[in-house]
């Protein structure tokens, strides 16, 4: 069973998330010379924008200039659009990091969805030479109230995808409809995955994901790294329906 850590509020959750990212970066830079990080959008952007810069300043050796950052999914809108994950990270987080900053792979939203997915896959192949399935050091994944993660939605055919590691969709139930997403085989190749959720709107889905035994598990329940680590970071509101043992952080 995956480890589940519960924090009193999104603020403590965000601070712990940022510490874990900074520590993972320092360890990877020391051992591999670089840190490969996959970021999700939505509420994760604000958590990281607020907490990661101070965590990096407090962690010697984290060195953002040695990071390769990619996005676990992207909404196909221009970077200036409020729904763009890349655009949100660029203005809210990347702008705060000292130059030269990380190498960033972004989905080219000016292309049509299939071409954007194939271009993004080519970028990943160049960034992970010799790896048939790119193995990220750390993936940060969010969870929607319907149990989706990345742009993998309940009941969607992409949940069955075994061949393409990056895929396009044009029928996302959550707008915008056109998106590019990493698929489960790539997610499950990661060395480490943190699944992050805050707020009462996620509680029912989290109960199903973490305690259910469903024939067709929700998308986030299908994230099970083959040999990597999986850890859940939740706030009290998101965890309020859980009955499984969880690790409660001080003050909860």
Interface with ligand LXAUTJHC includes 10 (CB under 6 A)?
no
**CA-based nearest residue to 194, from 226, 234, 165:** 234
To which residue do tokens 């109230």 refer?
145
Among 5, 36, 84, 151, binds ligand LXAUTJHC (CB under 6 A): 151
Interface with ligand LXAUTJHC includes 109 (CB under 6 A)?
no
- Binding marks (x or -) toward ligand LXAUTJHC, 26..45, rule CB under 6 A? --------------xxxxx-
Among 144, 147, 219, 225, binds ligand LXAUTJHC (CB under 6 A): 144
Applying CB under 6 A, the site for ligand LXAUTJHC has a residue count of: 12
Q: Which stretch binds ligand LXAUTJHC (CB under 6 A): 49-57, 107-115, 143-151, 239-247?
A: 143-151
Nearest approach, Cβ of residue 120 and ligand LXAUTJHC (Å): 14
Nearest approach, Cβ of residue 107 and ligand LXAUTJHC (Å): 11
Diameter over CA atoms, the chain: 49
Interface with ligand LXAUTJHC includes 73 (CB under 6 A)?
yes
Nearest approach, Cβ of residue 84 and ligand LXAUTJHC (Å): 10
Q: Tally the C-alpha atoms within 13 A of residue 65's C-alpha that lie toward its C-beta.
A: 4
Structure tokens at 7: 């924090």
**Nearer CB in complex with ligand LXAUTJHC: 108/174:** 174
Interface with ligand LXAUTJHC includes 84 (CB under 6 A)?
no
- Binding marks (x or -) toward ligand LXAUTJHC, 165..194, rule CB under 6 A? ---------x--------------------
Residues contributing to the site for ligand LXAUTJHC (CB under 6 A): 40-44, 73, 75, 142, 144, 150-151, 174
């Amino acid at each position: 069973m995956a480890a589940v850590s519960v924090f009193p509020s999104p603020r403590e959750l965000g601070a712990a998330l940022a510490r874990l990212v900074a520590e993972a970066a320092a360890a990877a830079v020391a051992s591999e010379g670089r840190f490969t990080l996959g970021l999700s959008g939505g509420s994760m952007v604000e958590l990281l924008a607020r907490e990661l810069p101070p965590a990096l300043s407090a962690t010697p050796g984290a060195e953002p200039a040695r990071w390769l950052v990619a996005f676990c999914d992207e909404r196909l809108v221009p970077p200036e659009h409020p729904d763009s994950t890349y655009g949100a990270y660029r203005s809210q987080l990347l702008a705060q990091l000292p130059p030269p900053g990380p190498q960033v792979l972004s989905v080219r939203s000016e292309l049509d969805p299939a071409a954007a997915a194939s271009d993004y896959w080519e970028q990943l192949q160049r960034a992970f030479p010799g790896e048939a399935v790119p193995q990220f050091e750390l993936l940060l994944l969010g969870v929607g109230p319907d149990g989706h993660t990345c742009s993998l939605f309940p009941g969607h055919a992409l949940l069955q995808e075994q061949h393409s590691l990056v895929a396009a969709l044009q029928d996302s139930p959550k707008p915008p409809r056109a998106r590019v997403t990493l698929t489960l085989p790539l997610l499950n190749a990661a060395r480490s995955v943190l699944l992050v959720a805050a707020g009462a709107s996620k509680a029912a889905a989290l109960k199903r994901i973490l305690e259910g035994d469903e024939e067709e598990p929700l998308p986030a329940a299908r994230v099970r790294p083959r040999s990597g680590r999986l850890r859940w970071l939740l706030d009290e509101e998101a965890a309020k329906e859980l009955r499984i043992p969880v690790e409660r952080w001080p003050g909860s």
